[in-house]
């Protein structure tokens, strides 16, 4: 349900602003996919995937950002940088904001800074 997803993205954006990030774009879409939030953290462009999950035997919210989703986000980020004239040496980071509904404090997300990297994907392994 898209409107429910938007609510969690709004919460995540507020959380990140409270931690000093400037939100540049919410819901960036391109031919390769979507990036939930794009922010600036003291000159570093941060691409953020927001995930919400109820307690599940299939894993928590953070673990639901698998390899295929990471590839889509990385390709979308490259498209964003290309479209906005960013140079190749632009510093970027891929973060995950994870809400686990049913946890002790479902409104406080887990913030995984540098949850994965484009370099790791290029070499066939995953960071997290």
Give residue limits of the domains in the chain.
Answer: 2-121
Q: Give the pLDDT band of residue 123 (cuts 50, 70, 90).
A: very low
- Taking only the tens place, the pLDDT of each residue in 23-74 is 999 999 999 999 999 999 999 999 999 987 666 555 565 556 778 889 999 9
pLDDT at 127: 37
β-pair type (92-101, 44-54): parallel
Instruction: Single out the residue of 51, 30, 53, 49 nearest to residue 38, CA to CA.
Output: 49
The pLDDT of residue 3 is above 70? no
- Model's pTM, two decimal places? 0.83
SS3 for 57?
A: coil
DSSP 68: H
Alpha-carbon span 113 to 39, nearest angstrom: 12
CATH classification for the domain delimited by 2-121, as one of 3.40.1350.10, 3.40.50.300, 3.30.530.20, 3.20.20.70: 3.40.1350.10
pLDDT at 25: 96
Q: Give the pLDDT band of residue 122 (cuts 50, 70, 90).
A: very low
């Amino acid at each position: 349900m898209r409107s429910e997803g938007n609510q969690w993205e709004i919460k995540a954006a507020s959380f990140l602003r409270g931690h000093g990030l400037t939100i540049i774009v919410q819901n960036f879409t391109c031919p390769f996919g979507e990036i939930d939030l794009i922010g600036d953290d003291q000159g570093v462009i941060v691409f953020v995937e927001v995930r919400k999950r109820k307690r599940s035997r299939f894993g928590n919210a953070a673990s639901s950002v698998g390899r295929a989703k990471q590839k889509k986000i990385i390709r979308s980020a490259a498209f964003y940088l290309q479209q906005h004239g960013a140079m190749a040496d632009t510093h970027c980071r891929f973060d995950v904001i994870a809400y686990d509904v049913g946890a002790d404090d479902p409104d406080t997300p887990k913030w995984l800074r540098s949850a994965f990297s484009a370099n790791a994907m290029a070499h066939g392994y995953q960071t997290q």
